[in-house]
């Protein structure tokens, strides 16, 4: 595969977006954005160091009073225009996302980009609905009301699996609520986050409201999290890095929002539609090559359907076509990097000692060998406490286990530290009702797995973190609530003063 995409001219001024313009980093190092389908370098850039983070925070602080003071209608107007600019650039955004991530162009075109535009439209509308819940005389002598206010400068850190959507999930609720933001995308995939910030400026969002620092986690990331002028840290990434981020953020008592890893169960009861469950499991485990925090990773199938489910999934997986991500016929692109592909392969290779590799378990040969590809892989026979069942592999690997009674299935589904998403498959409304009540996860699908909508919250339980992305619920994260209590009596010596002055 030849290199099909040239971004060097677009980012000739650098890969940092600070105060409304692109500029180079000053860390003195060099990073490369690599096309994982070919291993070819798309862009070499100087990553952000602490001085660049400081500059971006300064730009965000300068922009804060004007943006926080804009009316909701003014902010909504800018966000509506922002959605329009993104729509005009949809093809360009999709191609760049595919080039830097290796995700199939169908996925970028039909999911990542329209999802981002829809999110932008949603927050344009939601910006006018920032509500305090109550106002009234809760004490006879006072009127109380609630103001919902921006927090300040938000520092956000995002992963590489859906770079554009993650930028949108972080930036939009923050700025819709009147905050300004410094976003640090993954150093592997900064390109569409930079384009997203440029589109905001081109739509009339004032310079400095959205800034992007492209750099490594250990220096640019930690400096942003620890920065005393950053009022809130919003992080999406793995659970181990989330713990580190939480430790640093705690030192400056920041508002903290953590969207972390997942290991979603896929629970199939014996009355489920088998064809639907098989298709759901293959699509839910292979979307984005399995690099999805909500991907179906552990299928628990009630014994009467188990053999047929395993056979159906194995058959269907072999029909999934790996290939050039820019070919519209490709179903499965490469993983994000060769290093990550090797990590996934190591998980599967270790599993050979305790489980059966029913299909996959290898990188494809031939024309795709130079890319970071890994074939759709189905494992059976893995014990519940094995790492293939317990740890996040983040690749195209599905583990299937049998269960007997409903209680056992629900217990196994709940038996990992994670709690981001889950799905339950059954035609029995009482079974699905019980499962949706008892599964401890931020999202539970019934007879489906993966779809998301801008109006509904996304976020985890337990080791998957806390806080919500998308939906009006995310305003809880990006605003602070102020109680204003105003005296109605105009009396100098108020009745309650007796508790201090006695009868005097
Ligand atoms: P990661 O945790 O390695 O990195 C995420 C981000 O954190 C990157 O920008 C990275 O540069 C930065 N980072 C790394 N070390 C840091 C440090 N010490 N201080 C500050 N920042 C640091 O995750 P990844 O490999 O980029 O992404 C995959 C992970 O993201 C998976 O665990 C996946 O489940 C998770 N994820 C979660 C959600 C969700 O909504 N819960 C969504 C997408 C991805």
Which of 237, 340, 417, 463 has most ligand 1 atoms within 8 Å of CB, for mutation?
Answer: 237
Which of 225, 227, 241 has most ligand 1 atoms within 8 Å of CB, for mutation?
Answer: 241
Ligand 1: atom nearest CA of 261 is 34
**Alpha-carbon span 56 to 354, nearest angstrom:** 50
User: Which of 259, 307, 476, 477 is labelled catalytic?
Assistant: 259
**Whether the CB of 225 sits within 6 Å of ligand 1:** yes
Distance 242 CA to ligand 1 centre (A): 7
Distance 381 CA to ligand 1 centre (A): 30
**Whether the CB of 234 sits within 6 Å of ligand 1:** no
Ligand 1: atom nearest CA of 244 is 18
Distance 240 CA to ligand 1 centre (A): 9
pLDDT in tens, 73-119: 999 999 999 999 999 999 999 999 999 999 999 999 999 999 999 99
pLDDT in tens, 129-139: 988 788 999 99
> Domain-by-domain residue ranges, the chain?
17-260+460-483, 264-446
E strand spans, 124-251: 135-139, 142-150, 153-157, 180-184, 210-212, 232-236
Distance 238 CA to ligand 1 centre (A): 4
pLDDT at residue 170 tops 60: yes
β-strand partners of 378: 359, 398
Dihedral angle sign, alpha carbons of residues 188, 193, 195, 198: negative
Banded model confidence at residue 4, pLDDT cuts 50, 70, 90: low
Residues in CB range of 295: below 8 A, 6 or more apart: 262, 264, 284, 285, 287, 288, 450
**Alpha-carbon span 342 to 336, nearest angstrom:** 11
Ligand 1: atom nearest CA of 157 is 9
Distance 241 CA to ligand 1 centre (A): 7
pLDDT at residue 3 tops 70: no
* CA 464 to the chain's CA centroid: 11
**Whether the CB of 238 sits within 6 Å of ligand 1:** yes
β-strand partners of 366: none
- Homologous superfamily (CATH) of 17-260+460-483 is Aldehyde Dehydrogenase; Chain A, domain 1 (3.40.605.10)
Residues in CB range of 462: below 8 A, 6 or more apart: 417, 418, 419, 440
Domain 264-446 of CATH type 3.30.420.40: no
Q: Phi and psi dihedrals of 83, rounded to 5?
A: -60, -40
**Alpha-carbon span 166 to 146, nearest angstrom:** 30
**Whether the CB of 343 sits within 6 Å of ligand 1:** no
Smallest CA separation from ligand 1 atom 12, residue: 217
Active site residue 455: no
**Alpha-carbon span 311 to 304, nearest angstrom:** 13
pLDDT for the residue numbered 1: 53
The fraction of the chain above a pLDDT of 70, given in percent, is 99
- pLDDT, mean over the chain: 97
Smallest CA separation from ligand 1 atom 34, residue: 261
Ligand 1: atom nearest CA of 184 is 9
pLDDT in tens, 223-251: 999 999 999 999 999 999 999 999 999 99
pTM of the model: 0.96
Bridging pattern class, strands 465-466 and 255-259: antiparallel
Residues in CB range of 315: below 8 A, 6 or more apart: none
Distance 116 CA to ligand 1 centre (A): 19
Ligand 1: atom nearest CA of 242 is 2
C-beta of residue 155 within 8 angstroms of C-beta of residue 227: yes
pLDDT for the residue numbered 6: 87
**Whether the CB of 155 sits within 6 Å of ligand 1:** no
pLDDT at residue 324 tops 50: yes
pLDDT at residue 344 tops 50: yes
Smallest CA separation from ligand 1 atom 22, residue: 217
Distance 200 CA to ligand 1 centre (A): 24
**Whether the CB of 293 sits within 6 Å of ligand 1:** yes
Banded model confidence at residue 504, pLDDT cuts 50, 70, 90: confident
pLDDT at residue 5 tops 80: no
pLDDT for the residue numbered 131: 83
C-beta of residue 414 within 8 angstroms of C-beta of residue 429: no
pLDDT in tens, 465-480: 999 999 999 998 999 9
pLDDT at residue 400 tops 60: yes
Smallest CA separation from ligand 1 atom 30, residue: 237
């Amino acid at each position: 595969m030849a290199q099909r995409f040239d971004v060097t001219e677009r980012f000739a001024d650098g890969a940092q977006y600070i105060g409304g313009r692109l500029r180079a980093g000053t860390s003195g190092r060099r990073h490369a954005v690599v096309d994982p389908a070919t291993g070819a370098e798309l862009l070499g850039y100087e990553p952000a160091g602490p001085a660049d983070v400081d500059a971006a925070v300064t730009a965000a602080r300068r922009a804060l009073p004007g943006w926080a003071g804009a009316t909701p209608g003014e902010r909504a107007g800018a966000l509506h225009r922002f959605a329009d600019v993104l729509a005009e650039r949809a093809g360009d955004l999709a191609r760049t996302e595919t080039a830097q991530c290796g995700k199939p162009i169908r996925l970028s075109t039909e999911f990542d980009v329209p999802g981002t535009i829809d999110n932008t439209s949603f927050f344009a509308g939601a910006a006018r609905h920032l509500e305090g819940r109550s106002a009234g005389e809760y004490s006879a002598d006072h009127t109380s009301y609630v103001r919902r206010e921006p927090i300040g400068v938000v520092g956000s850190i995002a992963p590489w699996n859906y770079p554009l959507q993650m930028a949108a999930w972080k930036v939009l609720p923050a700025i819709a609520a009147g905050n300004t933001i410094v976003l640090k995308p993954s150093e592997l995939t900064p390109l569409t986050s930079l384009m997203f910030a440029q589109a905001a400026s081109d739509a009339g969002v004032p310079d400095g409201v959205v800034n992007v620092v492209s750099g490594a986690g250990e220096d640019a990331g930690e400096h942003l999290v620890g920065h005393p002028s950053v009022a809130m840290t919003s992080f999406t990434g793995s659970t181990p890095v989330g713990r580190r981020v939480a430790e640093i953020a705690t030192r400056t008592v920041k508002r903290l929002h953590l969207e972390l890893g997942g290991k979603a169960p896929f629970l199939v009861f014996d009355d489920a539609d088998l064809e639907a469950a098989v298709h759901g499991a293959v699509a839910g485990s292979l979307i984005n090559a399995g690099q999805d925090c909500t991907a179906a990773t552990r299928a628990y199938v009630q014994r009467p359907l188990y053999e047929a489910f395993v056979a159906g999934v194995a058959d269907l997986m072999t029909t999934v076509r790996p290939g050039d991500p820019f070919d519209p016929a490709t179903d499965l692109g490469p993983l994000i990097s060769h290093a990550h592909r090797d990590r996934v392969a190591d998980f599967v290779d270790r599993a050979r000692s305790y489980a059966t590799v029913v299909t996959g378990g290898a990188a494809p040969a031939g024309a795709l060998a130079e890319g970071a590809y890994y074939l759709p892989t189905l494992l059976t026979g893995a014990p519940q406490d094995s790492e293939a069942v317990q740890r996040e592999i983040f690749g195209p690997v599905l583990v299937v286990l049998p269960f007997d009674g409903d209680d056992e299935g629900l217990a196994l589904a709940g038996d990992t530290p994670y709690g981001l998403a889950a799905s339950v498959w059954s035609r029995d409304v009482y079974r699905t009702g019980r499962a949706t009540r008892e599964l401890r996860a931020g999202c539970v699908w019934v007879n489906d797995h993966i779809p998301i909508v801008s109006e509904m919250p996304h976020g985890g339980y337990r080791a998957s973190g806390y806080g919500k992305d998308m939906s009006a619920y995310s305003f809880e994260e990006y605003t602070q609530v102020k109680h204003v209590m105003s005296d109605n009596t105009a009396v100098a010596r108020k009745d309650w003063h007796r508790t201090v002055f006695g009868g005097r």
